[in-house]
Amino acid sequence: MKLSTRSLYGMRALVELALLSGRGPASASHIATRQCLSIAYLEQLLHRLRKAGLLTSVRGPRGGYSLARLPHQITMAEVVRILDGEQGPWETIQPRLRKSGSGSLTSGRHAQQISVAVGRCVHARLAESLGGVTLEDLCQEVKSLDGEPLDHRYVFHI
């Protein structure tokens, strides 16, 4: 269970924007350069974040993206939900069986009940944890790293 790079990129861009806020919109290429990301790919992500209402954009020269809300009003849960997609809860989990086999269609009430229990727990916990992290928190964390040597020993998955 790990953060997709997609979500990580998105978060990086947003943190960048949060740090730059107050200075007018920042262009996708500016962010991409500072964050060492592929411009074309980043644009896709920014676009999705804009459609979801997290960003506003201005076209034309001196245009770019800005946060649509204050940093403490944007949570990580929201970003992950937007970028990793909001697939149907049930269909996503349905396995892809090759041959007809009984498979793991949770046909039995008993099995279904357990799936639901696990699903509820996971969802509740994730939403709670990641919903508690805002862009502002991350900006703080970034600042606290200022002097520290970065030793690559950070982890994105459980």
Partner DNA sequence: AAGATACCCTACCAATTCTGTCAAGATATC
Partner DNA sequence: GATATCTTGACAGAATTGGTAGGGTATCTT
Q: Taking CB under 8 A as the criterion, which residues in 33-72 touch a copy of itself? A: 34-38
Mapped onto helix, strand or coil, the DSSP state of residue 157 is strand
Count of residues near a copy of itself by CB under 8 A: 74
The smaller minimum CB distance to a copy of itself, of residues 33 and 58, is found at: 33
* Residue 37: other Cβ atoms inside 10 A: 19
Least distance to DNA, CB of residue 41, Å: 4
- Of the candidates 113, 29, 116, the residue with the CA atom closest to the CA atom of residue 65: 29
- Say how far apart CA 98 and CA 100 lie, in whole Å: 7
116 binds, among DNA, a copy of itself, none (CB under 5 to 8 A by kind): a copy of itself
Least distance to DNA, CB of residue 145, Å: 23
Q: Using CB under 8 A, which of 56, 58, 70, 142 touches a copy of itself?
A: 142
- Say how far apart CA 34 and CA 42 lie, in whole Å: 12
Q: Using CB under 8 A, which of 70, 74, 129, 136 touches a copy of itself?
A: 129
- Say how far apart CA 18 and CA 143 lie, in whole Å: 12
Site membership for a copy of itself, residue 123 (CB under 8 A): yes
Site membership for DNA, residue 112 (CB under 7 A): no
Helix axes 5-20, 135-144, angle to 10 degrees: 80
Q: Taking contact as CB under 8 A, which single stretch among the options 20-28, 51-59, 60-68, 102-110 is the one that binds a copy of itself?
A: 102-110
